[in-house]
Amino acid sequence: MDARVLRLLSAVLLLIGLAAAPAAAQDMTKRVPAEWELQEAVWLQWPGPWETSYEKAFAKISNIIVRYQKLHILYASKRIHRQARGAISAAGGDPDHANIVWHDIPNDSAWMRDNGPVYVISNGEMRLQNWEFDAWGGAFGADVPYDKDNKVPDAVGAYLQLPVDPVNIVHERGNLEFNGAGAVILNWSTIGDPRRNPGYTKEKAESDLKQHFGVSKVVFIEGVPEGDRTNGHVDGIARFINETTAVVPVCTEKSFCKSGDGKTGSIFDAAARTIEAAGFTVIRDPILGTAKYGSDAFDTNYMNWLVGNGFVITVGFGNEETDAAAKKRLEGYFPGRTVYVVEMLESWASGGGVHCHTNDQPALSLLKSAGQ
């Protein structure tokens, strides 16, 4: 074949490839919606025998959510189902509320944020991801079961009739904070924990996260705050409140932690610097007091909030002054949403709050709004 013909053919093929590239890129569009975007529902796993002290808080949380949107409740036995219904009634709610859907689905714990699915919009459809779950790297002991929890995303996908993609990496959704616009913040101390993923590297993690979530920016913070039993889940350290702004705690003279203490205060300060260096605005949320539960004492950190359709719920510490101040700050972070503070010291002493217990499901209508 004549050399000129070859050059012409190559040029034509190049042009065809360039013309096709945008369409291919569009086909591969993938993102995880931010928590403040429209939701279809919230899911939770009702506390079992070893977590019954959480029931009052769960009932209060449930009765708030159903005022705004659908709530799916998983129960592991008929007894737990009866107890859940009784707790909701005792808190002034209706267990037969039109927005409550009960599911007889086996599970091991009451922390569905972490063992539940991650929802991803990919190639014009909603998909679920089932990341491996090993009960927080065995942080609560080898006798804590998690096999049933690890299968919950598959059961959720089957109910919703949505595809479920297995991800062979141990990780929890409580360590993922998305802005819905191409960025995720997470704690390397969690996903890089050798009890979860031995031999895993930060470079490999960044590549995996970009592949699975479609993000272009991965922001790693590091460090485990004192008393944290998840090895540093990001939902107690840094939260997006819009596409460009994140909130990070700051220690004060009224908190146990102190800025520059080489421990929790330094972790918060370093996280703020890292997030700012990544191009985001950072608001520092002051820790204005302490609280006690039994022999446990801790700072009043209100970062573990849940955002829903028209509402925000955050953990309460039974401290009227700090609870009221936190409510006011959250009203500023999320204007137009009603903010609720629910005292839940029992579960906080065990490792988390309302965000840790709930798993939000984005609305399917986001597919259309994304132009897919």
pLDDT tens for each residue of 126-138: 999 999 999 999 9
Question: Would residue 14 count as lying in a domain?
Answer: no
Give domain status of residue 147, yes or no. yes
Give tens-digit pLDDT for 62-102.
999 999 999 999 999 999 999 999 999 999 999 999 999 99
Report yes or no on 118 lying in a domain: yes
H/E run at residue 294: none
The whole-number pLDDT of residue 368 equals 61
Per the DSSP assignment, residues forming a β-bridge with 74 are 45, 103
In a domain, 7, yes or no: no
- CATH for 301: 3.75.10.10
Rounded-to-integer distance, Cα 109 and Cα 88, Å: 19
Question: What span, in angstroms and rounded, lies between the C-alpha atoms of 334 and 324?
Answer: 15
Residue 310 lies in a domain: yes
The number of distinct structural domains making up the chain is 1
For the residues of 225-275, what is the DSSP string, one character each?
A: -TT-SSS--GGGT-EEEETTEEEEEE--TTSSS-TTSSSHHHHHHHHHHHH
**Angle at 10 (CA atoms; ends 7, 16), nearest 5 degrees:** 145
User: What is the domain extent for residue 143?
Assistant: 31-369
The pLDDT tens digits for 295-346 are: 999 999 999 999 999 999 999 999 999 999 999 999 999 999 999 999 999 9
Q: What is the DSSP string of 162-191?
A: --EEEEEEE--GGG-EE-SSSEEEEEHHHH
In terms of pTM, does the model score above 0.85? yes
Q: Is the pLDDT of residue 366 over 60?
A: yes
* Residue 130 resides in a domain: yes
What SS3 state is found at 40?
A: strand
Pick from 53, 8, 121: which is nearest to 347 by CA? Answer: 53
CA gap 347, 152 in Å, rounded: 21
Q: Is residue 57 within 8 Å of residue 342, measured between CB atoms?
A: yes
Reply yes or no on whether the pLDDT at 15 is more than 80.
Answer: no
Tens-place pLDDT, residues 156-204: 999 999 999 999 999 999 999 999 999 999 999 999 999 999 999 999 9
Evaluate whether residue 261 is within a structural domain: yes
Lowest mean pLDDT among 5-9, 55-59, 354-358: 5-9
- Give a yes or no: residue 17 inside a domain: no
Q: Comparing 9-23, 24-38, 40-54, which segment has the lowest mean pLDDT?
A: 9-23
